[in-house]
């Protein structure tokens, strides 16, 4: 198997385990029967995950500005709080009272196989909709950022893609849950082309996160 150094493409995602391109590819290659099962289980919004490699600069900037203790993004304009409700709206997953088993947080995740972290509840297909998947995704991400900053991990476990979605959505729609805002899941609204255009604008306009440090230095 190739080593980490040989796999240069890992640098494109800042050593993030969550890769939208891999998720999109897996879903696209599934049979319609399996897609129907995924839809019935409550994860049909996965079909909207774009096949793309997110900008490493954007991912790094989001991570640098993410406060894992308070659960918020510190943008130039304001703080954007990343809540279970927003995670659920962004990814179209459940946000219920039943907590995810705590013991599931102790195991590592991978991008090439089903993670052992998620296997216990997945095996209970009958009640899979009852789990608080949104809170699990958020807690897992916050713990992943914390471990990366403390040097315990070289990569960030968790879905950084959800940070991109919520940041893009809330800075475009000041009231993301208003009747005139796009309905959930938000991932269905943000097409691959729209995300690339927004990533490009982040690098050139003064409204977003990117390149502010570099511009201040140049001035």
Report the distance separating Cα 219 and Cα 213, nearest Å.
10
- pTM of this prediction exceeds 0.85: no
Give the pLDDT of residue 8.
38
Element holding 186 (H helix, E strand):
helix 186-189
In the chain, % of residues over pLDDT 70 = 71
Residue 144: how many other CB atoms lie within 10 Å = 24
The domain segmentation of the chain, as residue ranges, is: 15-218
Digit-coded pLDDT (tens) for 141-158: 999 999 999 999 888 888
- Altogether, the residues listed in the chain come to a count of 219
Q: Which of 101-115, 140-154, 195-209 has the highest mean pLDDT?
A: 140-154
Give the pLDDT of residue 124.
58
pLDDT higher than 50, residue 12: no
Higher confidence at residue 3 or residue 170? 170
Are the C-beta atoms of residues 141 and 162 closer than 8 Å to each other?
yes
User: Which residue intervals of 6-113 are DSSP H helices?
Assistant: 20-29, 32-41, 56-64, 84-91
Q: Which two tokens stand for residue 94?
A: 């459940």
Give the pLDDT of residue 211.
44
Q: What is the mean pLDDT of residues 175-197?
A: 94
Q: What is the mean pLDDT of residues 183-203?
A: 91
Distance spanning both ends of the chain, measured CA to CA = 47
pLDDT higher than 80, residue 86: yes
pLDDT higher than 50, residue 105: no
pLDDT higher than 50, residue 36: yes
Q: What is the mean pLDDT of residues 92-106?
A: 65
Are the C-beta atoms of residues 135 and 100 closer than 8 Å to each other?
yes
Element holding 188 (H helix, E strand):
helix 186-189
């Amino acid at each position: 198997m190739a080593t980490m150094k040989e796999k240069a493409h890992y640098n494109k995602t800042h050593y993030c385990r969550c890769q939208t391109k891999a998720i999109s590819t897996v879903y696209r290659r599934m049979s319609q029967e399996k897609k129907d099962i995924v839809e019935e289980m409550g994860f049909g919004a996965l079909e909207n995950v774009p096949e793309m490699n997110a900008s490493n600069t954007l991912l790094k900037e989001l991570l640098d500005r993410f406060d894992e203790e308070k659960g918020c993004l510190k943008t130039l304009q304001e703080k954007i709080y990343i809540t279970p409700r927003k995670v659920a709206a962004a990814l179209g997953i459940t946000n219920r009272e039943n907590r995810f088993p705590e013991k599931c947080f102790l195991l590592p995740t991978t991008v090439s196989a089903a993670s052992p972290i998620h296997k216990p509840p997945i095996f209970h297909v009958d009640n899979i909709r009852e789990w608080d998947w949104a809170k699990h995704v958020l807690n897992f991400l916050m713990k992943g950022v914390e471990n990366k900053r403390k040097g315990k991990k070289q990569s960030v476990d968790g879905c950084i893609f959800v940070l991109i979605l919520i940041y893009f959505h809330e800075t475009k729609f000041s009231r993301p849950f208003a009747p005139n805002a796009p309905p959930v899941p938000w991932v269905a609204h943000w097409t691959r082309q729209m995300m690339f255009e927004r990533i490009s604008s982040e690098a050139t306009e003064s409204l977003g996160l990117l390149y502010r440090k570099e511009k201040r230095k140049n001035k």
